[in-house]
Chains A and B, each alone.
Chain A
């Protein structure tokens, strides 16, 4: 009997395999309530940030219908230059016009927070992506080649890990204006040569000794081909996982640098709190009176950081078999 071979293109098979492994992963993931919570919060923030353009429009129709000229002049919902002339003293507590109040310069806090949200995502994900790309390539090559390359990158990681990263970024802030993108780039590169290479190299070493690597070698595959087609795909889940933790780290570091007034970022959650601090609203007994100046932004930083961390932990329990439940 002859067998019927249905010719199916390779990409279709790959897609099917990918969909299947995604499905089983999702089944496992669904049980991690904390990870689901993290994913939910991330999606919430993503939508929240994307809705930013709608916010001034809604507010204009609600409160500025009678004064289109004033709206044009003062742009009360602009996160950077906005001002509400109808309110006597700023910072003003939350009201219908300004759901989260205004800051000492008369800007609307909610619009500042919404405006910053996509930027936090861009910063965190850019930095983490750079870190993971560098870390994965170095980890895989160090494990594959060994020898001098391995020693060099591992010692480099030792030195990078020796630097307190916040202190180093503070020094770098004196060299250049740390704009959002530059900051992401620097954080990504610094972290990429650090401890992540050690972890990914250890993982790559376990892949390197598997038989299919020898098989690939014996068919005459080039080193680059083996690294990119065989080793990296196998450590990618772990890299992806570390990316989540790095997003947390990057957002946190940016917030701290902005809070200390060392980054040159026009608007971010950290900048909002720095504004409260530098205008003296965090001093002494008045700290609780002006809570809207620091609490919403601080909560946003915390929520977004922890949700990426929750997501990372959830993925870790799927990727890392030793944490799996039996």
Chain B
């Protein structure tokens, strides 16, 4: 296992270096640059012009700049943004990342849970009414033009039903008098979600050790509900709950849109794998043992069909960073995707490279996690 991991990490490091190099030269070769636009200003004196060039690093030839970039990259320094001068690229990413991650992890989780349970039911009763409707509806949403879905949801929930706010990250009127910045509240929200996730995972591990199904269920439900109640109480006592609620309200629409858009992906994978697993002899054995239908479906069939789904899940988490461009634009959500679009429009080269490189790292780490998870879930795999 360790040997395999070592090999994988080495592969990933090599891949990453090639990737960074390609990205660097690609962006570098883009016609025009931020500084060019800047230097067009006729008011600038030659000295300031030279000064600026030096500050942005344009006095050195491209290959030297590349080497400097790679050197900095090794110390995890992605340079300084042009358009947000003198903010570091890593600072911008650190600020934007939680928003994107929170949005996407939530919707990916919801859509996978949905896809898992629909997919297994659809396959179990193949060609049944559930199978047919979920496949049809799922594929229509899977191939829907995402901006259309976003517009439609904004129109339905924001304009017609008036229950959710229109596209924005926060409500500016409310936050004028807020004692804390939106980012701080947001980070705290994220931490709450993280605590919940950890508690849930621990409960899941413990319940796996428990033997009877009622005991497992009680363990899971009580621990989850307790954490939710406790965290809600803490939020209310802290007095920041209206602000947190405002952020959550603004999250509902993007999460809903993304979930609808993506649940079919996991559902179809689950359904197809299930169809494969159902034919296995151990499913007949399980039925012959006199186990109830849903136990055979969930414990024997779905558990085996889970493996490809889990890898898919981790890998799709990796793509969240890049996939956010459309959603974040549609919902004015200031995350990584929006930052990318802005950086492209202002020709902010360091930010652009930084965002692409970061996305790559994210995807590669996700792949590594998927490999490890696969080995954990399937006892047959020993690297």
Question: Taking beta carbons and an 8 Å cutoff, which residues of A are in contact with B?
Answer: 33-34, 155, 158-159, 162-164, 166-167, 170-171, 174-175, 248, 252, 255-256, 259-260, 273, 277, 282, 284-285, 287-288, 291, 294-295, 298-299, 301-302, 305-306, 308-310, 313, 322-323, 325
List 11 other contacts, CB 8 Å, given A167-B322, A305-B143, A313-B268.
A163-B19, A163-B360, A164-B321, A166-B323, A166-B325, A174-B32, A273-B147, A287-B159, A306-B142, A306-B143, A325-B126
How long is the Cα–Cα vector from A155 to B143 in the complex, in angstroms? 29
Does chain A have a CB within 8 A of B62?
Answer: no
B341 contact set on A, CB distance < 8 A: 170, 260
The smallest beta-carbon distance between B252 and chain A, in angstroms, is 17
Decide: A162 and B146 in contact? CB cutoff 8 A.
Answer: no
Interface digits, B269-311 against A, CB 8 Å rule (1 contact, 0 not)?
Answer: 0001001100000000000000000000000000000000000
Complex A-B: 7 CB contacts under 8 Å: A155-B15, A171-B30, A174-B344, A174-B347, A256-B147, A277-B147, A302-B145
**B interface size (C-beta, 8 A):** 52
The smallest beta-carbon distance between B345 and chain A, in angstroms, is 10
Interface digits, B155-190 against A, CB 8 Å rule (1 contact, 0 not)?
Answer: 100111000001000000000000000000000000
How long is the Cα–Cα vector from A302 to B141 in the complex, in angstroms? 8
Q: Which residue of B lies closest to A170 (CB)?
A: B344
The smallest beta-carbon distance between A255 and chain B, in angstroms, is 6
Does chain A have a CB within 8 A of B359?
Answer: yes
Partner of A288, one of B155, B319, B364: B155
B18 contact set on A, CB distance < 8 A: 159
Decide: B143 and A248 in contact? CB cutoff 8 A.
Answer: yes
Decide: B145 and A301 in contact? CB cutoff 8 A.
Answer: yes
A164 contact set on B, CB distance < 8 A: 319, 321-323, 356, 359
Decide: B359 and A282 in contact? CB cutoff 8 A.
Answer: no
A159 contact set on B, CB distance < 8 A: 15, 18-19, 22
Decide: A167 and B147 in contact? CB cutoff 8 A.
Answer: no
Does chain A have a CB within 8 A of B329?
Answer: yes
Decide: B151 and A287 in contact? CB cutoff 8 A.
Answer: yes
- Which of A256, A287, A291, A309 has the largest count of B CB atoms less than 10 A from its CB? A287
Does chain A have a CB within 8 A of B6?
Answer: no
Decide: A252 and B143 in contact? CB cutoff 8 A.
Answer: yes
Does chain A have a CB within 8 A of B340?
Answer: yes
Decide: A252 and B15 in contact? CB cutoff 8 A.
Answer: no
Does chain A have a CB within 8 A of B140?
Answer: yes
Decide: B140 and A306 in contact? CB cutoff 8 A.
Answer: yes
Q: Given A164-B323, A167-B356, A309-B139, are A294 and B363 also a contact pair (CB < 8 Å)?
A: no
Does chain A have a CB within 8 A of B251?
Answer: no
Does chain A have a CB within 8 A of B239?
Answer: no
How long is the Cα–Cα vector from A298 to B15 in the complex, in angstroms? 38
Partner of B136, one of A34, A175, A291: A34
The smallest beta-carbon distance between B146 and chain A, in angstroms, is 7
Decide: B329 and A306 in contact? CB cutoff 8 A.
Answer: no
A287 contact set on B, CB distance < 8 A: 151, 154-155, 158-159
Nearest first, the 10 A-B pairs at minimum CB distance are A164-B322, A298-B148, A306-B143, A305-B143, A301-B145, A288-B155, A302-B144, A287-B155, A309-B143, A298-B145
Does chain A have a CB within 8 A of B93?
Answer: no
Decide: A294 and B159 in contact? CB cutoff 8 A.
Answer: no
B344 contact set on A, CB distance < 8 A: 170-171, 174
Does chain A have a CB within 8 A of B27?
Answer: yes
A34 contact set on B, CB distance < 8 A: 132, 135-136, 139
How long is the Cα–Cα vector from A162 to B136 in the complex, in angstroms? 30
How long is the Cα–Cα vector from A273 to B159 in the complex, in angstroms? 19
Decide: B155 and A305 in contact? CB cutoff 8 A.
Answer: no
Decide: B329 and A252 in contact? CB cutoff 8 A.
Answer: no
The residues in B between 211 and 225 inclusive whose CB is less than 8 angstroms from any CB of A are none
A277 contact set on B, CB distance < 8 A: 147
Q: Given A166-B322, A171-B27, A288-B155, are A256 and B146 also a contact pair (CB < 8 Å)?
A: yes
How long is the Cα–Cα vector from A323 to B277 in the complex, in angstroms? 11
Decide: B145 and A255 in contact? CB cutoff 8 A.
Answer: yes
Decide: B151 and A294 in contact? CB cutoff 8 A.
Answer: yes
A284 contact set on B, CB distance < 8 A: 166
The smallest beta-carbon distance between B100 and chain A, in angstroms, is 13
Q: Given A162-B15, A174-B31, A298-B145, are A167 and B135 also a contact pair (CB < 8 Å)?
A: no
Q: Given A171-B352, A302-B148, are A158 and B15 also a contact pair (CB < 8 Å)?
A: yes
Decide: B19 and A162 in contact? CB cutoff 8 A.
Answer: yes
Does chain A have a CB within 8 A of B26?
Answer: yes
Q: Given A166-B325, A260-B341, A323-B272, are A252 and B145 also a contact pair (CB < 8 Å)?
A: yes
How long is the Cα–Cα vector from A199 to B144 in the complex, in angstroms? 25
The residues in B between 326 and 352 inclusive whose CB is less than 8 angstroms from any CB of A are 326, 329, 340-341, 344, 347, 352
The smallest beta-carbon distance between A251 and chain B, in angstroms, is 9
Decide: B329 and A260 in contact? CB cutoff 8 A.
Answer: yes
How long is the Cα–Cα vector from A226 to B291 in the complex, in angstroms? 52
B136 contact set on A, CB distance < 8 A: 34
Decide: A298 and B151 in contact? CB cutoff 8 A.
Answer: yes
Decide: B30 and A174 in contact? CB cutoff 8 A.
Answer: yes
The smallest beta-carbon distance between B349 and chain A, in angstroms, is 11
The smallest beta-carbon distance between B18 and chain A, in angstroms, is 6
The smallest beta-carbon distance between A286 and chain B, in angstroms, is 9
Decide: A162 and B360 in contact? CB cutoff 8 A.
Answer: yes
A255 contact set on B, CB distance < 8 A: 145
Decide: A322 and B276 in contact? CB cutoff 8 A.
Answer: yes
The residues in B between 6 and 52 inclusive whose CB is less than 8 angstroms from any CB of A are 15, 18-19, 22, 26-27, 29-32
B15 contact set on A, CB distance < 8 A: 155, 158-159, 162
The smallest beta-carbon distance between B27 and chain A, in angstroms, is 7
